Amino acid sequence: MLGFLVQRLLQAVVVIFAMSIIVFLGVYAIGNPIDVMIDPGATQAIRQKLIEQYGLDQPLWQQYWTFLSNVVHGDLGTSMVYNVSVIKLVFSRLPATVELVFVAVMIATLIGIPAGIYAGYRPNSLLARAIMALSVLGFSVPTFWIGMLLVMAFAVNLGWLPSGGRGDVSSFLGLRTSLATVDGWRHVIMPAFNLSLFMMGLLIRLTRAGMVEAMQTDYVKFARAQGLPDRQIVFSHVLRNISIPIVTVFGLELGSTLAFAVVTESVFNWPGIGKLIIDSILQLDRPVMVTYLILVVILFVLINLVVDIVYAQLDPRVRLKGGK
Amino acid sequence: MTKALDVRGLTTRFETRSGDVTAVNNVSFSVERGRIMGLVGESGSGKSVTGFSILGLVEEPGHISGGEVLVEGQDLRALKPEALRKLRGSKVAMVFQDPMMTLNPVLRIGDQMAMAVRVHENMSKRAAWERAREALEIVGIPAAGERLKAYPHQLSGGMRQRVAIATALLHRPAVIIADEPTTALDVSIQSQILAEVRRLADETGTAIVWVTHDLAVISSLADDICVMYAGRIVERGTAEDVIAAPRHPYTVGLIGSVPSLHEPGAHLPQIPGSTPQLANLPSGCPFRPRCPRASDLCATEPPLIETGSHSVSCHRPMEAP
Amino acid sequence: MAKLDWMDAFLKPGTVGSGGYTHLLGTDNVGRDMLSAIFYGLRTSFIIGLSAGALALFVGICIGLSAAYFGGRIEAFLMRIVDLQLSMPAILLALVLVAVLGQGVGQIILALVVAQYAYFARTTHGAATVERSKDYIEAARSTPLPTSRVLFRHLLPNVLPPLIVVATVQVASAIALEATLSFLGVGLPLTEPSLGSLIANGFKYIHTDRYWLSIYPGLFLMVTVVTINLVGDQVRTVLDPRRSR
Ligand SMILES: Nc1ncnc2c1ncn2[C@@H]1O[C@H](COP(=O)(O)OP(=O)(O)OP(=O)(O)O)[C@@H](O)[C@H]1O
Ligand code: SF4
Ligand SMILES: [Mg+2]
């Protein structure tokens, strides 16, 4: 287990390093940010000064080297648009996104898995068919459009919920979060629900497929022959088995939900990093893009690591080993 | 004394898109305490469905359409689902063919067995584990305490099948239905398990229905034999009677095709033709297209001919000795 | 497209415009007829979705088949990249690519291909490794046939059924992805109406009662995507070898 962890962490460092090069090169291949930043009427001298200030006249490898040594010192550069430290900028927006994604994942799990279990347990029932039809909508209809409908219905027409933005923030167990206030929940619930739909649809399908298959297995029949009630068979025998693929997809979808927060944050005007990245793409704010992407890569690597560990806990046939 | 298991006119049908199928057709037999009854037949003859029907565990698109299943005199078919569930595992238990599949791969043996203990008896987890350990010892598993902590994939096939049998034994049921439990195992382990089962039946008084398509196994193990063909019992009697003096032409064919029941060196005759399609059986006797003794008469439903405890369902059975 | 007329901006659905033309779904902020804009956008969406799907299919097949055919290091390397990409959400890849490549139909298609080819590569590779072990491939391989012939004549037909299913789903998701990118403002410019940019335009008026600017293009988008998915589901059932049992 320890060997496995060390090996995986080393791998993670390599992946993150490699990604940082790719991201850096990719992002820097985009047009000249100076053109976007300064007013077209500015003098050549001002222009030159800015280029030098951002080190844009250096060769690419040198820019990367400067970037890397700055990163080692905990400095990811300065936003070209907001003119503040990127780290500060990203971390000021991160809590809002984490909040949103957290609530969305909770909704997806708490609705998706029970619905999938039911649909798989009684696959021919009317309710199960309805659940499956809705799940198709959940992951085929584009998120932003559903989000828009939600705003139209609950904010514009009914006026029950605010149409966008994050609510009041207050402290809870030392954390500054909007989830500690009623206003915060009023703001988060609609975007979080919107964001949860894709993952919910997927979890429903996956859980149902696992249930249907598991209910046909011999070990379920054997458990029935022992007189175990169905409730116990589902919760003690089957869930444990189908949780293995669910955990895998859950991990992948966590990353995907984080990525899709970009869309939901734009629809609901949610002040998180998703909105930040869209703005920085539109304004060619390179340091922000680089930081965001590296952050996402780190999160992905971490999520995958956690998934592998949980996986091994759930499936006794899998053993975590360092090396081959 | 009431019989441990008495099946009367049991009928199970499957309604499929390709037509209705009567997988178990008016099946009747009984087993007394401590006796082993062999249920023999080709693949698809309805042996497993018979077993599941006895436990009331037939799944869609199948349903039991008639008959009685008396366990120690109590009709299981008349019970409410919840009452029937409580008898499963405690009065009637079942063991399946493939030991690799019958245990849940992600739960420890002890947890699975303890669950089976506690569903019928109110006791602590520890006591249930202890009970499981004893059951493993009864079926001859060494270092039972260690085995309980293992996951199924850590045990061999023979070991797993013993675990399954031990699980079936936990509540000393009146009847165990063993659905080809040794088919997937190799011969030496198979004979060890058969010996254990024989001993268990003798010692505990449990009645056993041993399902198999292997007549050689059954002839050495069983006290009584039922021969099944296309969902029906075609011949029934004590093991000696059926093996030594078979009366149904199908049984004769079956015995003829088993090497160990045959004169050494002689040519092994096969039953001509192939297993019947249950969806379109001929009228009258289902064995008719393959039967060397068939006559026009056989297009009508064959009568049940009983001589003592030996009965056969045939128009022109072999002569009784 | 119907003529533009500023006088005709924000006409309600069903109103007759100055040109004597009935605007069934109303007009937008610059007086364009919504219905014809939607049809135009639908066409753009289909062109993008289908060409991205076809190209991704082609690239994915080439990579998946090569990996399965050559095996060894090449296989390990190719599939490693594919797996890495599959663990990344398509939207993120597409977003970055569009940012790098800029806006326009060609750029979007390229971004979608890069974001989606991996699904085809994985499916092809999976099906092809199963086929690879079968005798007829060995037999074909031992004859002096050119590699490409073995790949496309012998291996491909056998991996096609699962690919068709993936393809329908991917076309739907390419259309949805394009709409999403355009909605976010990084896809097609408004001058090139696609369903996404039409909805984005309508979204500006969501707080007014001019619902038709966003609702109708959205409805068309939803119906399109769901229909393609349902067709895919149907195809899956028809092609499922277990079905006949
Ligand atoms: N789920 C089902 N749907 C439709 N028909 C079924 C189903 N299960 C069983 N049958 C029918 O019941 C018949 C008997 O099946 P069964 O499994 O009892 O045979 P068996 O004697 O146990 O054979 P084997 O030796 O292969 O286990 C089959 O031939 C089939 O026609
Ligand atoms: S009834 Fe006729 S066909 Fe059937 S087994 Fe007897 S003799 Fe053969
Ligand atoms: Mg069977």
Q: In the predicted model, is pLDDT for residue B190 greater than 70?
A: yes
Are residues C183 and C97 in contact, defined by beta-carbon separation less than 8 angstroms? no
Closest alpha carbon within chain A to B164? A222
CB of A97 within 8 Å of a chain C CB? The answer is no
What percentage of chain A reaches a pLDDT higher than 70? 89
The dihedral over CA atoms of A286, A289, A292, A298, expressed in degrees to the nearest 10, equals -90
C101 vs B221, residue with greater confidence = B221
For the segment C188-213, the average pLDDT, to the nearest whole number, is: 76
pLDDT in tens, B203-240: 888 999 999 888 888 888 889 999 999 999 999 999 99
For the segment A16-24, the average pLDDT, to the nearest whole number, is: 75
Q: In the predicted model, is pLDDT for residue C1 greater than 50?
A: no
Measured distance CA(B316)–CA(B247) in Å, rounded = 9
Residues in chain A: 324
What does residue C17 show for φ and ψ, rounded to 5 degrees? -85, 180
Which tokens belong to B51?
Answer: 């077993």
* pLDDT for the residue numbered C138: 67
Q: Which chains touch B (3 or more CB pairs under 8 A)?
A: A
Side-chain-side CA neighbours of C164 within 13 Å: the count stands at 16
Task: Give the distance from CA C187 to its chain's centroid.
Answer: 14
Q: In the predicted model, is pLDDT for residue C243 greater than 50?
A: no
Residues in chain B: 321
Terminal Cα-to-Cα distance of chain C (whole angstroms): 52
Q: How confident is the model at residue A8 (pLDDT cuts 50, 70, 90)?
A: confident
pLDDT in tens, C25-83: 666 766 677 777 788 888 888 888 899 999 999 999 889 888 887 878 888 888 888 87
Residues 6+ apart with CB under 8 A from C217: C34, C37, C38, C41, C195, C198, C199, C202
B278 vs A31, residue with greater confidence = B278
Q: Do A240 and B107 touch (CB under 8 A)?
A: yes
Mutation for A interface: C171, C181, C203, most A CBs within 10 A:
C203
* pLDDT for the residue numbered B217: 80
Q: Do A266 and C95 touch (CB under 8 A)?
A: no
What is the DSSP pairing of strand B62-71 with strand B5-16? antiparallel
Specify the DSSP class assigned to residue B37.
Answer: E
Q: What's the angle, vertex CA C15, arms to CA C14 and CA C19, rounded to 5? A: 125
Q: Which amino acid does the sequence have at B202?
A: D
* pLDDT for the residue numbered C241: 52
C165 vs B227, residue with greater confidence = B227
CB of A12 within 8 Å of a chain C CB? The answer is no
Which tokens belong to A222?
Answer: 């054997």
Q: Which C positions 98-117 lie with beta carbon below 8 A of chain A?
A: 98-100, 102
Q: How confident is the model at residue A38 (pLDDT cuts 50, 70, 90)?
A: low
Measured distance CA(B287)–CA(B251) in Å, rounded = 11
CB of C189 within 8 Å of a chain A CB? The answer is no
**Which of B57, B52, B60 lies closest to B27 in space, CA to CA?**
B52
* pLDDT for the residue numbered C25: 66
pLDDT in tens, A165-214: 777 777 776 677 777 677 778 888 899 999 999 889 989 988 998 898 88
Measured distance CA(C126)–CA(C122) in Å, rounded = 6
* pLDDT for the residue numbered C73: 87
Mutation for A interface: C48, C85, C100, most A CBs within 10 A:
C100
For the segment A37-53, the average pLDDT, to the nearest whole number, is: 70
Mean of pLDDT over chain C: 77
CB of B268 within 8 Å of a chain A CB? The answer is no
Task: Give the distance from CA B41 to its chain's centroid.
Answer: 10
Q: In the predicted model, is pLDDT for residue B98 greater than 50?
A: yes
> Cis omega (within 30 of 0) on the bond before A40?
no
- Quick one: fold of A87-282? MetI-like fold (1.10.3720)
* pLDDT for the residue numbered B180: 86
Domain chopping of chain A, boundaries: 87-282
Does the beta carbon of B288 sit less than 6 angstroms from any atom of ligand 1?
A: no
The ipTM (two decimal places) reads 0.89
The dotted CATH code for B5-85+175-184+205-313 is: 3.40.50.300
What does residue B39 show for φ and ψ, rounded to 5 degrees? -110, 110
State how far the alpha carbon of C133 is from the alpha carbons of A181, C120, C145, in Å.
61, 20, 18
State how far the alpha carbon of A197 is from the alpha carbons of A143, A204, A266, C214, in Å.
8, 10, 16, 21
What percentage of chain B reaches a pLDDT higher than 70? 95
Residues 6+ apart with CB under 8 A from C240: none
Q: In the predicted model, is pLDDT for residue C3 greater than 60?
A: no
Measured distance CA(A199)–CA(A192) in Å, rounded = 11
Long-range contacts of C102-109 (CB under 8 A, 24+ apart): C102/A31, C103/C186, C103/C187, C103/C188, C103/C189, C104/C188, C104/C189, C104/C192, C105/C44, C105/C47, C105/C48, C105/C188, C105/C192, C108/C48, C108/C52, C108/C178, C108/C181, C108/C187, C108/C188, C109/C48, C109/C51, C109/C52, C109/C55
Specify the DSSP class assigned to residue C104.
Answer: S
Q: Do A228 and B101 touch (CB under 8 A)?
A: no
Q: Determine the distance separating the centroid of ligand 2 and the alpha carbon of B237, expressed in angstroms.
A: 18
Sign of CA dihedral A214, A219, A223, A224: positive
Residues in chain C: 245
